[in-house]
């Protein structure tokens, strides 16, 4: 059985030694360009399917390794035949109801013959000649050649970025998203955003062939680093020099913090357990909240304030530059 070699690296426009991050960025860029939602050209859906197929392989380190092992000496456009000993294998895939498609010609999900030949397909039904429990004998042979770690790909997963607020991931909640499947059909889904999700975290929706990548919208008061939060607290020169107590806004409401005497601008105070929840794997645990002190000088100065600052300057021996 001869099939055309599919150069997935060329499809995504990356080098063979590209990192997984480079492959992911290339896929996102092309997916946005050719997604049927934004590209109305007649061949956009076909290109999007090809891009998705390439990322299904190269985006998975295990599949990529197998692809590199089998394809390292091939050139674009060459036909490939299985290595010696494989030519007599029976490529007898079975479709729904047990009917044989024959010779690997059944192409679910729009994948190429090349993809199906080396990475199988999901949803096989029936048993019978050439299959064991719905799997082709070729798939079993491939598992032996690749070390027994083969996982059938099925339909390519679509990755969608969802921008959520910090409040969404603090409390957890539901969001409705709308997407266009490779077939062109539009679909609405209600997805649950788990409490404790972090920026860049991925949520796989079972049965939907969809992965959500969480992006956190910028918050007006908090910066986020993992499960930790940082907020700025402006204090007066007198509070910095003499110390004092000031209220800080948190997700739990206002909390009183003690400013130590001699506090410096940029210094951070740590409030343990006042950050973001750490999710289901660490229930009840939260990150920390860091309060960054920023000294603000009154402006404009009143006449009395100016006189007092002038007196302080005259008697003070402090030199911040030594």
The residue segments making up the domain with residue 167 are: 158-216
Asked, for residue 320, whether it belongs to a domain, the answer is: no
Q: Note the pTM of the prediction, 2 decimals.
A: 0.52
Asked, for residue 248, whether it belongs to a domain, the answer is: yes
Most confident of 93-97, 171-175, 190-194, 257-261: 257-261
Asked, for residue 321, whether it belongs to a domain, the answer is: no
Where would I find the beta strands (DSSP E) of the chain? 3-4, 79-80, 131-132, 135-136, 158-164, 173-180, 186-193, 202-205, 210-216, 223-225, 228-235, 244-250, 253-259, 268-271, 289-295
Q: Are residues 141 and 88 in the same domain?
A: yes
pLDDT of residue 60: 87
Burial class (CB in 10 A: 0-12, 13-18, 19+), 169: buried
- pLDDT tens digits along 174-204: 888 777 766 677 878 888 888 888 988 888 8
Q: Are residues 49 and 133 in the same domain?
A: yes
Q: Is the dihedral of CA 147, 153, 159, 164 positive or negative?
A: negative
- Overall domain count for the chain: 3
CATH of the domain at 99: 1.10.287.110
Mean pLDDT of the chain: 76
Q: Is the dihedral of CA 236, 241, 247, 248 positive or negative?
A: positive
The Cβ of residue 319 has, within 10 Å, a number of other Cβ atoms equal to 6
Nearest to 189 by CA among 154, 171, 216, 162: 162
- pLDDT tens digits along 41-69: 888 888 888 898 888 889 888 888 888 87
Share of the chain above pLDDT 90, in %: 34
Tokens encoding 68 = 């590199």
pLDDT of residue 37: 67
Q: Are residues 32 and 99 in the same domain?
A: yes
Q: Are residues 44 and 118 in the same domain?
A: yes
Asked, for residue 322, whether it belongs to a domain, the answer is: no
Length of the chain: 322
Domain boundary among 146, 180, 201: 146
Q: Are residues 198 and 249 in the same domain?
A: no
pLDDT of residue 229: 97
Asked, for residue 276, whether it belongs to a domain, the answer is: yes
Residue 108 pLDDT level (bands cut at 50, 70, 90)? very low
- pLDDT tens digits along 9-30: 999 999 989 999 999 999 988 9
Instruction: Give CA–CA dist 104/101, Å, rounded.
Output: 7
Asked, for residue 264, whether it belongs to a domain, the answer is: yes
Q: Kindly state the average pLDDT of the residues 266-287.
A: 91
Most confident of 6-20, 155-169, 187-201, 283-297: 283-297
Peptide bond into 93 cis (omega under 30): no
275 neighbors 288 (Cβ within 8 angstroms) = yes
Q: Are residues 93 and 168 in the same domain?
A: no
- pLDDT tens digits along 218-242: 999 999 999 999 999 999 999 999 9
Q: Are residues 184 and 311 in the same domain?
A: no
pLDDT of residue 296: 95
Residues sharing a CB contact under 8 Å with residue 209, sequence separation 6 or more, in sequence order: 154, 155, 156, 157, 158
Q: Are residues 43 and 87 in the same domain?
A: yes
Asked, for residue 128, whether it belongs to a domain, the answer is: yes
Q: Are residues 109 and 200 in the same domain?
A: no
Q: Are residues 15 and 132 in the same domain?
A: yes
Asked, for residue 291, whether it belongs to a domain, the answer is: yes
137 neighbors 145 (Cβ within 8 angstroms) = no
Q: Are residues 27 and 110 in the same domain?
A: yes
CATH of the domain at 254: 2.60.260.20
Q: Are residues 178 and 250 in the same domain?
A: no
The Cβ of residue 303 has, within 10 Å, a number of other Cβ atoms equal to 7
Q: Kindly state the average pLDDT of the residues 146-157.
A: 43
């Amino acid at each position: 059985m001869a099939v055309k070699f599919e150069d997935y690296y060329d499809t995504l426009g990356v080098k063979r030694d590209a990192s997984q991050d480079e492959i992911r960025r290339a896929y996102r860029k092309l997916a946005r360009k050719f997604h049927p939602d934004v590209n109305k050209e007649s061949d956009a859906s076909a290109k999007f399917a090809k891009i998705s197929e390439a990322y299904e392989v190269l985006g998975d380190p295990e599949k990529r390794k197998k692809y590199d092992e089998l394809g390292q000496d091939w050139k674009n456009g060459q036909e490939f035949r299985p290595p010696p000993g494989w030519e007599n294998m029976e490529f007898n895939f079975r479709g729904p109801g047990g009917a044989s498609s024959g010779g690997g010609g059944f192409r679910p999900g729009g994948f190429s013959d090349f993809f199906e030949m080396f990475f199988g397909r999901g949803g096989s039904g029936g048993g019978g000649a050439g299959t064991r429990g719905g799997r082709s004998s070729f798939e079993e042979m491939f598992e032996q050649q690749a070390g027994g770690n083969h996982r059938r790909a099925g339909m390519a997963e679509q990755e969608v970025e969802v921008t959520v607020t910090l409040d969404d991931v603090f409390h957890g909640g539901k969001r409705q998203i709308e997407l266009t499947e490779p077939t062109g059909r539009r679909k609405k889904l209600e997805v649950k955003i788990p409490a404790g999700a972090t920026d860049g975290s991925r949520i796989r929706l079972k049965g939907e062939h969809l992965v959500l990548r969480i992006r956190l919208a910028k918050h007006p008061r908090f910066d986020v680093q993992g499960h930790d939060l940082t907020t700025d607290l402006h204090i007066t020169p007198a509070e910095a020099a003499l110390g004092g107590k000031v209220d800080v806004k948190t997700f739990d409401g206002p909390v009183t913090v003690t400013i130590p005497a001699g506090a410096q601008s940029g210094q951070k105070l740590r409030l343990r357990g006042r950050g973001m929840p750490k999710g289901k794997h660490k229930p009840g645990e939260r990150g920390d909240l860091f309060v960054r002190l920023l000294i603000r000088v009154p402006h404009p100065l009143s006449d009395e304030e100016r006189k007092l600052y002038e007196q302080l300057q005259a008697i003070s021996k402090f030199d911040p530059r030594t």
